[in-house]
Amino acid sequence: MNEAPKLNSYRAGPDEDGRFGIFGGRFVAETLMPLILDLQDEWDKAKNDPAFKAELDNLGAHYIGRPSPLYFAERLTEELGGAKIYFKREELNHTGSHKINNCIGQILLAKRMGKTRIIAETGAGQHGVASATVAARFGLPCVVYMGATDVERQAPNVFRMKLLGAEVKPVTAGNGTLKDAMNEALRDWVTNVDNTYYLIGTAAGPHPYPEMVRDFQAVIGQEAKEQMLAAEGRLPDLVVAAVGGGSNAIGIFHSFLDDEGVKIVGVEAGGKGLEGDEHCASITAGSPGVLHGNRTYLLQDGDGQIKEGHSISAGLDYPGIGPEHSWLNDVGRVEYVPIMDHEALEAFQMLTRLEGIIPALEPSHALAEVIKRAPKMGKDEIILMNLSGRGDKDIFTVGKILGMGL
Amino acid sequence: MTARMDRKFADVASEGRPVLVTYFMGGDPDFETSLSIMKALPKAGADVIELGMPFSDPMADGPAIQLAGQRSLKGGQTLAKTLEIARRFREEDQRTPIVLMGYYNPIYIYGVDRFLTDALDAGIDGLIVVDLPPEMDDELCIPALEKGISFIRLATPTTDDRRLPKVLENTSGFVYYVSMNGITGSALPDPSLIAGAVQRIKTHTKLPVCVGFGVKTAEHARAIGASADGVVVGTAIVNQIASSLTEEGKATDATVPGVEALVRGLSAGVRSARLAAAE
């Protein structure tokens, strides 16, 4: 690939057709086009409406618990003996992950649009729980599509959603995982166009979702930047986040994209290794294609059929990635690297023991990359990592792998 | 070859009846059976054939067509093989228009230029690509039109008068009116509502309007055919194929004759449609 020309800004996208370079777009059935155009109109109005912003900020402060802290991981830093490591503590948000930032934003939009029913897809169940939570908070019925395989391996989150009043519909089509749940949610939407709002959980899908979800998650990076300036008087040298669909990553990256001195790394799920099919490294081991409304890097075969991914973390178990990440990769602004299941598992245990924080398996991937890089960096250098979710939901998975009876 | 499509619609119109468009999934349950099904369709009374290109993630399709796609892919079907089915069919039949129907990604990965060249060579007349709305016309629609392959667009109940001109702008061959908001294989709505929608579309275009989604029986075909230029039947045929298979999903002696019998019935339905309308 040729060296891309340097851009004035990496934060200008998408264009009016929802494109980040060749990525993004609106690849949906005609039935959905009018809905997506309506959504875009409403989003364009809302994002410039001070009343919308005020309501979002108010719920952010009092319902989610924003700003989330920036935490200096002193013992981890000492142990690794290199760069100072800071965590953006998104796992302390209400519902235990960054997912709620986006859900609050989108449900306010749904309300503005007069929609009376919420649908969502979920993999690990974090987005499902966050969707069910905001649906309860705003008194709207909520249907969550979840792959039948995931319903089994994420039983506690299924129970949470039900307690919150959501209906969880197991999806048996395909292999019964996140991508099949997303297909089924799209089928529901296309059938119930009049009253239903589709609350997509990651920065992917047809335009305007990737932009909208990014903007709702960008609060992570905005806060972190201010907090870092307050704590250290300067910007970090390296920002790291895990990438499945990529909403927590784009959320923390976006504010730093135009800061030249800040290196940015996205960590994909390398699963059991990139040689076979048991991974979810869409960028490092996939190729551009069209799925779920956008063009982006996908795991696919030579005939354009989408493969099932694998990751120890159900939240990264998606064969695609948000289109903005695909673009940031191709223009060379963000480096994407894989981390294997076992490396994430080791990082999970290390953080638990050293800092008394049980991280979700998703940010454990980011942490594993931090553990590799920190010792090679100077003590005067700074790493900022998005600790996007807490690990309570993962203790059963981890316990099983470590052979600990629960 | 848009000409073959136009000629077919004109010929059928001169018979004073609507066109019967039949869909089946290429490669379901295997290449050879699927080719035999395709050859049987015109003999049983189908006027236009929609040849399904299987995709792993068919977001606009109901369970029947999803499963057909899975059977087909499991049997080793690829886009190249689907084009091969068309090519083999064309060796015997130069008059029945063939429309490829599916999703964009397999075409994108095959390569748009190479795909259009090979499709033309295989005797394909039109394309229906579900996830390419008019906003995405530069991807495939415009290149296809330049090569002389029709791009048939779906219009839906959500396509209002404001949006219809955009949807119709680069459409050729015919307009496919989706009878309801939903996925393939759902229940058919009230024929009088459909008749109204067809009339609405006809005020915007001179192209024939075919109606699909939910048409399952000869009686449906007759009722819809009273107002539309054509009737599309898909899920009913796919279900017929599915019901004839062994538990392992293999074809049986009943597979091809079952489709023939169903299509003969549907054909009788469309052939009596205008008589019904005149009553």
B 153-172 → A contacts, CB under 8 A = 153-160, 163, 167
B 52-91 → A contacts, CB under 8 A = 55-60, 62-63, 66, 70, 73, 78-80
Q: How confident is the model at residue A150 (pLDDT cuts 50, 70, 90)?
A: confident
CB within 8 Å: A193 and B108: no
CA distance A381 to A376: 10
Residues B181-231 have pLDDT tens digits of 888 877 777 888 899 999 999 999 999 999 998 888 888 888 898 899 999
pLDDT at B186: 79
Nearest CA in chain A to B178: A31
Interface check B181 vs A, CB under 8 A: yes
For the residues A293-311, what does the mean pLDDT come to?
Answer: 95
pLDDT at A405: 67
Residues A117-133 have pLDDT tens digits of 999 999 889 999 999 99
Domains of chain A from N-terminus onward: 20-61+98-208 (3.40.50.1100), 67-96+219-402 (3.40.50.1100)
- Kindly report the nearest CA distance between residue A185 and chain B, in angstroms: 9
CB within 8 Å: A27 and B167: no
pLDDT at B232: 95
pLDDT at B191: 84
Residues A184-225 have pLDDT tens digits of 999 999 999 999 999 999 999 999 999 999 999 999 999 999
Strands (E) across A303-395 are located at: 335-340, 382-387
Interface check A365 vs B, CB under 8 A: no
Interface check A292 vs B, CB under 8 A: yes
Interface check A31 vs B, CB under 8 A: yes
How many A-B residue pairs are in contact by the CB < 8 A criterion? 120
B105 → closest Cβ in A30, A186, A289:
A289
Show residues of chain B in contact with A25, CB under 8 Å: 135-136
Q: What is the DSSP letter of A277?
A: S
For the residues A272-290, what does the mean pLDDT come to?
Answer: 93
CATH number given to B2-272? 3.20.20.70
Residues B125-138 have pLDDT tens digits of 999 999 999 999 99
Domain ranges of chain B: 2-272
pLDDT at A108 exceeding the cut of 90: yes
- Kindly report the nearest CA distance between residue B214 and chain A, in angstroms: 13
The structure tokens listed for A123 are 């993999």
Nearest CA in chain A to B55: A305
Q: How confident is the model at residue A1 (pLDDT cuts 50, 70, 90)?
A: very low
Catalytic choice (A121, A223, A308, A355): A121
Residues A43-93 have pLDDT tens digits of 999 999 999 999 999 999 999 999 999 999 999 999 999 999 999 999 999
Q: Is the peptide bond before A208 cis (omega within 30 degrees of 0)?
A: yes
Ranges of residues in chain B with a pLDDT under 70 are: 1, 275-279
Alpha helix (H) residue ranges in A60-166: 74-80, 99-112, 126-138, 148-153, 155-163
Amino acid identity for residue A301 in this structure: D
CB within 8 Å: B63 and A173: yes
CA distance A141 to A114: 13
CA distance A267 to A284: 10
Show residues of chain A in contact with B167, CB under 8 Å: 30
Residues A357-370 have pLDDT tens digits of 999 999 999 999 99
Show residues of chain A in contact with B110, CB under 8 Å: 303-304
The structure tokens listed for A35 are 């809905």
Show residues of chain A in contact with B104, CB under 8 Å: 27, 290
pTM for the whole structure? 0.95
Show residues of chain B in contact with A287, CB under 8 Å: 109
Q: B136 by DSSP, 3-state: which?
A: helix
pLDDT at B278: 54
Which position has the higher pLDDT, B109 or A311?
A: B109
Q: Which residues, in sequence order, are bridge partners of residue A384?
A: A86, A239
Distances (CA, A) of A146 to A19, A38, A172, A206, B64: 29, 26, 9, 20, 20
The lowest-confidence range among A30-39, A208-217, A347-356 is A30-39
Nearest CA in chain B to A182: B59
B181 → closest Cβ in A173, A180, A193:
A193
